[in-house]
Amino acid sequence: MNRKMFPVSALILGLFLASCGGKAVQRTDESAAIDLSGDWNDTDSRLVAEEMIRDSLARPWLEEFTNAKKARPRVIIGAVLNRSSEHINTQTFTKDLEKELLNSGKVKFVASKEQREEVREEKADQQAHASVDTAKSIGQEKAADYMVKGQINTIMDAAGGKQLKFYQVELEMIDIESSEKVWIGQKKIKKLVERKGHKL
């Protein structure tokens, strides 16, 4: 082969391969339900959060508190554990829960433990560096009345190129003062995944 022709041939070959194996990216509606692998995804997180928070806010604990205290209860999201066999980012799920609770207008929402620590650091800094009339007071935080905790479990079954994925999400609303559970919610999702020509 002519040595001078080699770089040109390599360039043409590279362009050809790039055109064949190029990546296509298409933007879609964020609310569109798209299942690629059949695993837990953003649609599951959003729909489960919407349904479970809607159920929790329709239960007696909310009306009982509101009538007794003449105020909306303050709620905080605690740990939601991933006990499934998949990697599930529970942070996005808890954010969906927070959004549904806060946007309902029926409860007030307390910042997370990590967020409160950051705010406290800021207030401590203000005591030393901000003017007296603008520095925010320490010890004036509003405590939460209820905590939401939960877990995500899965049961998997596979045979003959088909896989059954069963998700069970359990949430509980706990009265922080009395430690009583005032609401328990459960949502189940069952998915049948079939991949022709692939062994699951």
Question: Tell me: the pLDDT tens digits for 14-69?
Answer: 555 555 567 888 887 777 777 777 788 889 899 999 999 999 999 999 999 999 99
User: Considering just the CA atoms, what is the radius of gyration of the chain in Å?
Assistant: 26
Residues whose CB falls within 8 Å of the CB of residue 167, separated by 6 or more in sequence, listed in order: 40, 44, 84, 152, 153, 154, 188, 189, 190, 191
The model's pTM: 0.78
According to the model, what pLDDT value does residue 186 have? Answer: 96
Q: pLDDT at residue 4 above 80?
A: no
According to the model, what pLDDT value does residue 189 have? Answer: 92
Placement of tokens 């049961």 in the chain: 155
Q: What is the DSSP secondary-structure string of 134-194?
A: TSPPTT-PPPPSEEEEEEEEEEEEEETTEEEEEEEEEEEEEETTT--EEEEEEEEEEEEEE
pLDDT in tens, 125-158: 999 999 999 999 999 999 999 999 999 999 988 8
